[in-house]
Amino acid sequence: MAKLLIVDDEIKIREVVKEYALLNGYEADEASDGAEALKKIELEHYDLIVLDIMMPLMDGYSACREIRKIKKVPIIMLSARHEEYDKLLGFELGVDDFVVKPFSPKELMARIKVVIDRNTQKIQDLYVFEGLSINVDARVVSIDQQKVMLTPKEFDLLLYLVSNKNTAINREALLEKVWNYNYFGDDRTVDTHVKMLRHNLGIYRKFIVTVRGTGYKFEI
């Protein structure tokens, strides 16, 4: 389930967008200005940010600049202004879409779906979770921009768990998918590799959760 962060100083707009987001199967969190949004983004993973321009403390443009320094996350910008300059500046900052107020909540949901789908396809070879990044093509894992040395099987195990994030996977399935059908191993093989993988991931070992009586999952 995709998680949205709705950033707007108008509480009614946040409530309406959140209501429609929940109806469309998304999780939703709120922030009343750019500064509050940055604090949340540092602590939580969001699949898309709906970001208003005109806000106190930190406006949408400033927030967008700061977000881009720490996270690669899709952004849809909201604005009550219609000037072409506003849109151009937003796109220069890396905004994925631009919606002018007043807007139709249904149209916004449609735009959110398009952007999430597009970015899911775009980044399918690069997964980023906080300071942990996994480059599938290069088979490189980095923690806070420092490369981590994993064995080939550790990488394959991590990639399979990430590709099925938030889903509990039993040990037999992991043996089958990561080690293939012809491997004659047992549960201890999986447990041993998970232990080594957790050690190598350091503080991000928290993402690999043991599901008692079943196996493991990569939980966000």
| Cβ atoms < 10 Å from Cβ of 25 | 10
Band of residue 123 on the pLDDT scale cut at 50, 70, 90? very low
What per-residue confidence (pLDDT) applies to 90? 78
Instruction: Tell whether the model's pLDDT for residue 187 goes beyond 80.
Output: no
Instruction: Tell whether the model's pLDDT for residue 30 goes beyond 60.
Output: yes
This model's pTM is above 0.75: no
pLDDT in tens, 126-159: 888 989 999 988 889 999 989 999 998 899 999 9
Write out the two tokens for 125.
Answer: 């070879």
What whole-number distance in Å separates Cα of residue 78 and Cα of residue 106?
Answer: 14
- What structural domains does the chain harbor? 3-122 (3.40.50.2300), 126-218 (1.10.10.10)
What per-residue confidence (pLDDT) applies to 184? 55
Instruction: Tell whether the model's pLDDT for residue 164 goes beyond 60.
Output: yes
Q: Name the nearest CA neighbour of 60 among 43, 74, 75, 71.
A: 75
What whole-number distance in Å separates Cα of residue 219 and Cα of residue 199?
Answer: 17
Band of residue 121 on the pLDDT scale cut at 50, 70, 90? low
What per-residue confidence (pLDDT) applies to 181? 52
Q: What burial class does residue 199 get, using C-beta atoms within 10 Å of its C-beta: 0-12 exposed, 13-18 middle, 19+ buried?
A: exposed
CA 202 to chain centre: 20
DSSP secondary structure string for all residues of 149-168: ---HHHHHHHHHHHHTTT--
Instruction: Tell whether the model's pLDDT for residue 195 goes beyond 80.
Output: yes
Residue ranges of alpha helices (H) inside the chain are 11-23, 34-43, 60-70, 84-92, 105-122, 152-163, 171-178, 187-201
| Cβ atoms < 10 Å from Cβ of 126 | 14
Regarding predicted confidence, which is higher, 91 or 200? 200
